[in-house]
Amino acid sequence: MSSRTLPLLFINLGGEMLYILDQRLRAQNIPADKAKKVMNDIITTMFNKKFLEELFKPQELYSKKALRTVFDRLAHASIMRLNQASMDKLYDLMTMAFKYQVLLCPRPKDILLISFNHMDAIRDFVKDAPGILNQVDETYQQLIEMYAPMSSGDFQLIRQTLLIFFQDMHIRVSIFLKDKVQNSNGRFVLSTSGPVPYGTQVPGTIRLFSCSGDEMSRLQFSNGGNYCVALREGSFELFGDRVTKLGTNMYSVSRPVETHMSGTAKHSAQHTKVNTAPNPLAKEELNLLARLMGGLEVQKPGNTDSDFRLNLFANDEEEEEALLLRPDELSYGVINIQATKDQQASAALAKIMGEFTESGHQPTSACNKGDDLLAMMDGL
């Protein structure tokens, strides 16, 4: 497991979230000033300096529930509100899109190009806001400084860590099913055509060499696909052509966010198999998450009249139906964590973490052990 995976996971999932929200804000005809405020507020929070300092520290990935908590918090960083069904759908779309990109990237190092595609799009969202743009550019530099010197082996470990994180997520998404890049069981289809990884050759040739290293003969075989040589490598600089389209915005006015997701509630492996066993690392994870969330300085809107609700479904009826089909094990609300330097909040966190001691009182019921991270933080 790589301890340098979390920043890439967060930035890419955040980029996908912004793509989806941007499309839905336009589809629901939200006034331009409100839509702009939502995007700017979320991006400002996402690239908060203190938050990124915690994010870029070497650390293990959080559990799925813990990471979901961070994105719940991030999605509600402005005047926009999502109910639980829409938040579920938003997170499912985000995770499946990035899983698809990780699976299809030709080389492990191309995960960084995917990240830069997301960063390029985020920069375009805030091109008229110099202050936020500066935050985004600083994050570019952090990404380049951290990941550019890494070896292919380091990126392979990052890719493996991401795939382990995504391995039980097989949610069927209509846009992927229509493009025939996802099967009905939720698994993605890997293409046997197109460019091979940059710096490699098209498969189909076996070369025989002598002991001195001279080529003696060649044998040809059918590679079973329609491959071609990659003509150039994507740019890993601040500005440049990334070449790959993975990580770019796949939503548009003519191709909106699909309102119907097959298997989102009942048939998703992600939703039906939630591990309820006590987590031995709960105390450490809570500590890390508390510090990370402490960097999220979310502004509370002064005028509640300006708040509005965003629906990721075609209508309210469809949203209500999805909420009814939601599994019980996912029925936790949006966690209200006070992300400031409030001493009372710090004391509350310390008290909660103090309960995680081996010598502490053991409740009689497994469901009351307090190992669930979200339930533990619910009282903050």
Q: Which residues pair with 226 in a beta bridge?
A: 193
190/163 Cα distance (integer angstroms)? 15
230/197 Cα distance (integer angstroms)? 6
pLDDT at 369: 32
pLDDT for 58-89, tens place per residue? 999 888 888 998 899 899 888 888 888 889 99
Please report, for the chain, the start and end positions of each structural domain, with discontinuous segments joined by +. Answer: 5-189+236-253+307-356
Q: From the centroid of its chain, how far is CA 322? A: 22
Q: Kindly tell me if the per-residue pLDDT of 5 is higher than 60.
A: yes
Q: Kindly tell me if the per-residue pLDDT of 194 is higher than 70.
A: yes
| Dihedral angle, C-alpha 207, 211, 212, 214, nearest 10 ° | -20
pTM assigned to the model:
0.76
Instruction: Pick the closest to residue 334 from 90, 78, 76 (CA basis).
Output: 76
Ramachandran class of 363: left when φ > 0, alpha when ψ lies in -120 to 50, beta otherwise: beta
| Residue bearing the bigger pLDDT, 23 or 260 | 23
89/128 Cα distance (integer angstroms)? 30
242/101 Cα distance (integer angstroms)? 14
Longest pairwise C-alpha distance within the chain: 80
Instruction: Pick the closest to residue 132 from 248, 36, 19, 31 (CA basis).
Output: 36
Q: Residue 225: pLDDT band by 50, 70, 90 thresholds?
A: confident
From residue 373, alpha-carbon distances to 223, 238, 248 in Å are 49, 37, 33
Q: Residue 358: pLDDT band by 50, 70, 90 thresholds?
A: very low
244/240 Cα distance (integer angstroms)? 12
H-helix or E-strand spanning residue 377: helix 373-377
Share of the chain above pLDDT 70, in %: 68
From residue 187, alpha-carbon distances to 94, 100, 166, 176 in Å are 16, 9, 11, 10
pLDDT at 191: 86
Q: Residue 272: pLDDT band by 50, 70, 90 thresholds?
A: very low
Q: What are phi and psi of 175, to 5 degrees?
A: -65, -30
Mean model confidence pLDDT for the chain: 79
Angle between helices 6-27 and 110-125 (to 10 degrees): 40
